[in-house]
Each structure stands twice: as structure tokens, then as C-alpha cells.
Amino acid sequence: MQTEEQVRACVRAAPSERYCYDVPSDRNAKVCYRVDLTANKGAGVCQCTDWVTRRQPALDRGEPPLTQPTMCKHLRRALWFFVRDLMPALAKQEQRPHR
């Protein structure tokens, strides 16, 4: 079984789709789930069974987005990947002199 870091290393930004990521399955590396971080008013969406059967219904019941009850592991990994790329860009921007 792969470590969390190994799995995160396999996350890829989906070509031609902003804020969408292909996240590999833990059970079958040939299977990827498409994660859209901006869908659901920013709560995200995933194609996996866990998302469809547990996480989306939790959102529908009013659970807050981006919390344990509303995020599958694929969504967490895609969000981590997004933040990992975003933070250096933000840090670089903050180094510029403010006007």
C-alpha cells in the first residue's frame, strides 16, 4: 500500500479544467477520480462512491463544507495539492513592496 505522500505525488491537475484534479484510487492505481474544488458552491465534488453515498448527503443535511463529514480522501488530497501550489505564489506576491 502506498503512503499518503506517495498518493499525493500522483495527484494531477486536470488538463483544460481549472481547479479540477485527477486523484488516484488507493485500491487501483489505474483508476482516478475527478475532483472539482469549486463545485457545490466551493464545497467540492468527487466521483468516488464515498462522496456520492456519504459526503454529498452530509452536505445536503446541512453539514459545513470542507469538514471531516463532507470530504472524502480524494477531495482532501486535491485540496492539499491546490494549497501546496498556491502558497508559494502567495508568499512571492507578499514579498513585493506594498503601495
Per-residue pLDDT tens over the stretch 1-58: 555 565 555 777 777 788 999 999 988 878 999 999 999 999 999 999 999 999 999 9
Q: What is the mean pLDDT of residues 67-77?
A: 95
What pLDDT sits at residue 49? 96
What is residue 88's predicted lDDT score, i.e. its pLDDT?
Answer: 87
Among the listed residues 32, 30, 31, 26, the one whose alpha carbon sits nearest the alpha carbon of residue 1: 26
Question: What is the chain's alpha carbon radius of gyration, rounded to the nearest angstrom?
Answer: 15
Long-range (24+ apart) CB contacts under 8 A made by 17-20 are 19/82
pTM beyond 0.95: no
* Residue from 83, 92, 67 nearest 11 by CA: 83
What order do you get walking across the sheet with 45-46 strand by strand? Answer: 12-13, 20-24, 32-36, 45-46
